[in-house]
Structure formats: C-alpha cells, structure tokens
Amino acid sequence: MTTLIIIILAIIAIVLTVWLLTIPAEVIAGTYKAFRRGEWRRRKPGPPHTSG
C-alpha cells in the first residue's frame, strides 16, 4: 500500500514539474515569434471599439 502511494505521488510530482516547465517555455516561444513577425508593433492602445 505504501509503495502505491509513493508511485502516485511520484507521478503527480513529475506531471507538475513538466507542466511548470512547459508553460513558461510556450509563453517565451510565443512572444519570440510575435517579436519576429513584428506583431508587437501593431498592438498599440487605441480608442475602445464600440458596437452599434
């Protein structure tokens, strides 16, 4: 029973570690791609778009 708990905790720890390492990597890659395309220049704060 103790071995099963240890295995489950190990799996959870591995999943959390991979998750925490993958998300910042995706964010960094996304901003890097945006910088290369020049999208960051187009995102200028403008007047709010009103529907109607």
Q: What is the pLDDT of residue 48?
A: 63
Could you give the CA distance from residue 7 to residue 9 in angstroms, rounded to a whole number?
Answer: 5
Quote the pLDDT of residue 40. 57
- DSSP annotation of 51 reads P
* Angle made by CA atoms 18, 27, 21, in degrees to the nearest 5: 15
- Confidence band, pLDDT 50/70/90 cuts, at residue 49: low
What residue type is 24 in one-letter code? P
Q: What is the dihedral of CA 49, 50, 51, 52, to 10 degrees?
A: -140
- Tell how many helices (H) and how many strands (E) occur in the chain: 2, 0
How much is the pLDDT for 13?
Answer: 96
Whether the pLDDT of residue 5 is over 90: the answer is yes
pLDDT single digits (tens) 11-47: 999 999 988 888 887 788 888 787 777 765 555 566 6
